[in-house]
Amino acid sequence: MATTASVEHEELPAPSPDEVAPRFAPLYRQIKTLLTKRLRAGEWKPGEPIPSETELAARFRVSQGTVRKAIDELAADNLLVRRQGRGTFVASHLEVRTQFRFLRLRPDDLPEAKLTGEPHPAMPGERSVQGQVLRSQVLECRRARGSAEISRVLQLRAGEPLIQIRRVLDLEGEPTVLDEIWLPGARFRGLTAERLANYSGPLYALLEAEFGVRMIRAEERIKAVTAPADVARALHVKAGTPLLRVDRVSSTYESEPVEFRRGWCLTARHHYYNELG
């Protein structure tokens, strides 16, 4: 049984930093790399179906089982979504489940047993899709020069232009999160306060649809802090109120950082939820 054969009629991309000797990787891993390359190139758009396992197996001249294992890993990475009886689709930030990956605040009165990662009528994310509970109010969107720290995190040269967004997220009708977001200016030309104000969906879905940038994964650092005066005003609380500060770096394909976000979270009625393992 040959598990390290090369894929015929397809050129493997250059190795990414987190891959080990992809030329000698198992065959399913090579197929996964090729599929990821095509996702990044936009061959299949978010929300669209990809070819069937049979079609992909014929295209790459490998077994259907090899393709299935590659797709299983991409589904586990939240890049693809299997839908019973319909096929496999490119994941989209318009889907409720995808939104849950990046919105980690949960209401305190929701039983922990319900926190399974599945949509639930009592969750803000579920009703936000219908425009009921989660509301985003953009305070500012402008081109700016970022600090040395932000430029370093986004792997930009010092002085490269950024887009800075400040917004308040209302959960259950109350200001709960103040987001300060920095994006590379060159990647998001045309993103304006007016465009954000006229858009009612998730920010990541807008960046995905209009700029072709899909947020794949994020790293967060969480710290207990007290509210500075400007943050307190935005959240309608007193200066010094206890908050959670969540610093996030979001990346697209091949671990390229494309967003730095600092969220100031009021936890009087909410908590930060994460599932490990």
Spell out the SS3 assignment of the chain: CCCCCCCCCCCCCCCCCCCCCHHHCCHHHHHHHHHHHHHHHCCCCCCCECCCHHHHHHHHCCCHHHHHHHHHHHHHCCCEEEECCCEEEECCCCCHHHHHHHCCEEECCCCHHHCCCCCCCCCHHHHHCCCCCCEEEEEEEEEEECCHHHHHHCCCCCCCEEEEEEEEEEECCEEEEEEEEEEECCCCCCCCHHHHHCCCCCHHHHHHHHHCCCCCEEEEEEEEEECCHHHHHHHCCCCCCEEEEEEEEEECHHHCEEEEEEEEECCCCEEECCCCC
CATH classification at residue 113: 3.40.1410.10
**Which residues on adjacent β-strands are paired with residue 82?**
88
Between CA 214 and CA 79 the distance in angstroms is 10
Q: What is the pLDDT of residue 176?
A: 93
**Whether residue 79 is found in the same domain as residue 137:** no
In a domain, 17, yes or no: no
**Whether residue 29 is found in the same domain as residue 156:** no
**Whether residue 83 is found in the same domain as residue 125:** no
Q: What is the pLDDT of residue 40?
A: 87
**Whether residue 129 is found in the same domain as residue 78:** no
Q: What is the pLDDT of residue 246?
A: 96
Q: What is the pLDDT of residue 96?
A: 61
On the 0-12 / 13-18 / 19+ scale of CB atoms within 10 A, 86 is exposed
Q: What is the pLDDT of residue 192?
A: 92
With CA atoms as reference, report the closest residue to 178 among 236, 221, 240, 132. 236
Q: What is the pLDDT of residue 277?
A: 60
Q: What is the pLDDT of residue 100?
A: 57
Q: What is the pLDDT of residue 201?
A: 80
Tokens of 261: 């976000």
In a domain, 63, yes or no: yes
**Whether residue 45 is found in the same domain as residue 149:** no
Tokens of 94: 């318009």
Residues of the chain with pLDDT under 70: 1-24, 95-101, 110-133, 277
The verdict on pTM exceeding 0.85 is no
With CA atoms as reference, report the closest residue to 225 among 239, 249, 198, 245. 245
Give me the domain span that covers residue 78: 22-90
Q: What is the pLDDT of residue 143?
A: 94
Between CA 130 and CA 177 the distance in angstroms is 20
Q: What is the pLDDT of residue 253?
A: 87
In a domain, 11, yes or no: no
**Whether residue 114 is found in the same domain as residue 36:** no
In a domain, 1, yes or no: no
What Rg do the C-alpha atoms of the chain give, in angstroms?
21
Domain count, the chain: 2
Positive or negative CA dihedral for 172, 174, 176, 180? Answer: positive
**Whether residue 106 is found in the same domain as residue 85:** no
Contact 6, 23 (CB under 8 A): yes
Q: What is the pLDDT of residue 14?
A: 40
Structure confidence by residue, pLDDT tens digits, 14-33? 434 433 334 567 899 999 99
